[in-house]
Structure 1
Amino acid sequence: VFYFQDDLDLLLDSPSSLTVNSTVRGTIKEKPGFNPGEDAAALRKAIEGIGTTEKTLIDILTQRSNAQRQLVCKAYQDATGRTLCDDLEGDTRGDLEGILVALITPPAKFDCQEFIGAIKGAGTTESVLIELFASRSNHQIKAMCDAYLAETGRALIHDLKSEVSGDFEKTLLILAEGKRVESTNVDVAKAKEDAKILYEAGEKKWGTDESKFIDILCHRSVPQLRQTLVEYKSLSGKTLQESIEREMSGRLEDILVAIVKCVKSVPAYLAERLYKSMKGAGTTESTLTRIIVGRSEVDLQDIKAEYKKLFGTSLYSDIECEVGSNFGQCLIRIRR
């Protein structure tokens, strides 16, 4: 377990990526003196010459904000009559292609494409669905749903229903509605009551009443849930995460644990995902791309700090060790 179990009281005052919609903790900022026409011309030269100059593509696309990259895409299309996305797909390969295309995709559309990737093909990639819905704010989930409707003409919730089932489905669908309470007020009496409900629905009875866990963990605000985690520990002597791991199994356990981790700290949860994507058998490049690109203007600085705290090594040096080539260079440039 990567979490220090006695840090619950510190939680109550710390900010959360689920409630703060700000870009100050990102690693990528707007480039001053930005000129989209110049960038588009340089990209065009890098792509149209003999052999693609990957270094130019990486230099430009990792050092502009997403909003600036959208302007570069427009300037590129105006100048060439082709989309930058098509040209990158035609000229680069593999993981480098994946990350460069991710960089020029608007964030909500990128989340939407990751969602589509997770549900299409044989078998659904549940771990990606869990990450997307547990770590995103209401605002980000709504934007992803809007992008999905624009892209496919269907409601995301409708397509999600046909992919998952049981209590896991129930939990994902509530999260996908983006209905988590946003208030920053904390009702301590209510937190004590919720802690008692959770304790009686799990540890205290024979068999578990999963619906109580799903209802409380998916609907309460982050500050309220943090207070509930504190009350639960003082009531039961265990952390809620430990109880969920004891009482549940399978995908439902995975998603409820992910929610608890994200309530505590989205950056710590994502740092753990990054670590496992590099230290498991074979590197999961798609996870590296999704988190590092997806959080580059949200909280990547905090993810780097949590990574160091949890694993005693820097995210930078692990990427250098585990991921070679231009793809690794691209990741490193983003996290600077």
Structure 2
Amino acid sequence: MGNVQPTIVPYPDFDVVADIKAIRKACKGWGTDEQAIIDILANRSAAQRLEIKQAYFEKYDDVSMDPTLPVTMNKNKQELEEVLKKELSGNFEKAIIAMLDAPHVYAVKELRKAMKGAGTDEDVLVEILCTASNAEILTYKDTYFEVHERDLEADIEGDTSGDVKNLLMSLLQGVRDETYDVDEAQAEQDAAALFEAGEGRFGTDESTFTYILSRRNYLQLQATFKIYESLSGTEILDAIDSETSGTLKDCYKTLVRCAKSPQLFFARRLNAAMKGAGTDEDTLIRIIVCRSEIDLETIKDMYLEKYDESLKDALRSECGGDFKRLLLEILH
């Protein structure tokens, strides 16, 4: 949608051997040189970071040929993640580990984490699934199975219920129209159907909202929302506010906001993660790491426009130490 800008692009003078040596040096001896790790990982694309991870694993053999050890132990290759987990801690460690996964692998780990244990973190499911393209949904389903040996649809079906389940299952079909065609007659029909399903009746017919919001292309939806407003005198988000509640309301509002501007949706999520007491660092990591090669530069612009404060300054006052330095470096 429009012209979106990343903050991280492939590093032009990429030298994987130099990088793994520098990371190795940063982790050796007393103390860790966190800044060296930040300088490298926050300035390499996800594909380059995966190369670094692979090369590190192939080159370094940490129980290096100690004659007193059985041969099998000498084959103990070291995973870069394990090395860094030993050296780093807290949110800084979490963010660095997130950067060592391919973005879709990291996303499915977050989906699984949101469903594991007691209760479900629906916000995470909504954020990841409601903003994904058809191709991403397909990749998530395949990757989820590869990483967790579980079926994403079955897990979501088992972990959610009612209208929320119906909506997420509908999104998981990955059947949204992704063209840029706008059919005015369809928009009028949809706007009338949404009105009839919500404000125009007692109670709400969620299946109509779910069908339209999960299938129509973004420009088509924008046209529908305009007609809806002239039809009912209410902005679609206000109508959703008064007609629905809980997670379903969050889902619908996310889908509407993404149809209008995904980047503004992410700017709002970042702001919400920093507002009030405490900071939701997991959300900061997820959005800043996952969007860095897609549209983070544009999200920064939207943030400034909406909140009259730069994202950089907001993070500066909310986060500390190496974690803050890493996020600011990813923002460039």
Q: Tell me the TM-score normalised to structure 1 length.
A: 0.92
1:173 aligns with 2:153: no
Deviation at 1:131, TM superposition (A): 0.6
One-letter identity of the residue aligned with 2:250 = D
Partner of 2:67 in structure 1? Answer: none
CA distances 1:279-329 after superposition (whole Å, capped 9, x unpaired)? 132001000000000000001011101101111000000111111110011
Deviation at 1:49, TM superposition (A): 2.2
Deviation at 1:253, TM superposition (A): 1.0
| Larger-Rg structure | 2
Of 17, 31, 34, which aligns to 1:37?
17
CA distances 1:76-134 after superposition (whole Å, capped 9, x unpaired)? 11111211111112221110110001111101101001101111121110111111111
One-letter identity of the residue aligned with 1:317 = D
C-alpha separation in 2, matches of 1:135 and 1:221: 13
Of 288, 308, 322, which aligns to 2:318?
322
Partner of 1:268 in structure 2? Answer: 264
C-alpha separation in 1, matches of 2:294 and 2:139: 15
One-letter identity of the residue aligned with 1:120 = K
Deviation at 1:177, TM superposition (A): 2.2
One-letter identity of the residue aligned with 2:37 = L
Of 234, 246, 254, which aligns to 1:250?
246
* Residue aligned with 2:159, SS: coil
Deviation at 1:154, TM superposition (A): 2.0
One-letter identity of the residue aligned with 1:264 = K
Question: Percent same amino acid among aligned pairs?
Answer: 40
Number of aligned residues = 316
Structure 1: segments with no counterpart, 5+ residues: 1-14
C-alpha separation in 2, matches of 1:199 and 1:293: 38
Of 79, 86, 89, which aligns to 2:85?
89
One-letter identity of the residue aligned with 1:218 = S
C-alpha separation in 2, matches of 1:135 and 1:209: 23
Of 280, 286, 305, which aligns to 1:284?
280
CA distances 1:157-204 after superposition (whole Å, capped 9, x unpaired)? 011111100001111111122221112211110000000000111111
One-letter identity of the residue aligned with 1:76 = Y
C-alpha separation in 2, matches of 1:265 and 1:212: 22
Deviation at 1:205, TM superposition (A): 1.0
Q: How does 1:38-77 map to 2 (within 5 A)?
A: 38-77=18-57
Deviation at 1:68, TM superposition (A): 0.8
Of 201, 212, 218, which aligns to 1:216?
212
C-alpha separation in 2, matches of 1:314 and 1:225: 30
1:144 aligns with 2:144: no
* Residue aligned with 1:331, SS: helix
CA distances 1:23-44 after superposition (whole Å, capped 9, x unpaired)? x611001111110011011101
Deviation at 1:233, TM superposition (A): 1.1
Q: Which 4+ runs in 1 deviate beyond 4 A?
A: none
Partner of 1:3 in structure 2? Answer: none
C-alpha separation in 2, matches of 1:86 and 1:147: 22
Deviation at 1:274, TM superposition (A): 0.5
Deviation at 1:60, TM superposition (A): 0.4
* Residue aligned with 1:193, SS: helix
Of 179, 188, 192, which aligns to 1:192?
188
CA distances 1:231-269 after superposition (whole Å, capped 9, x unpaired)? 111111111111111111111111111110111111111
Deviation at 1:67, TM superposition (A): 0.8
C-alpha separation in 1, matches of 2:327 and 2:174: 30
* Residue aligned with 1:122, SS: coil
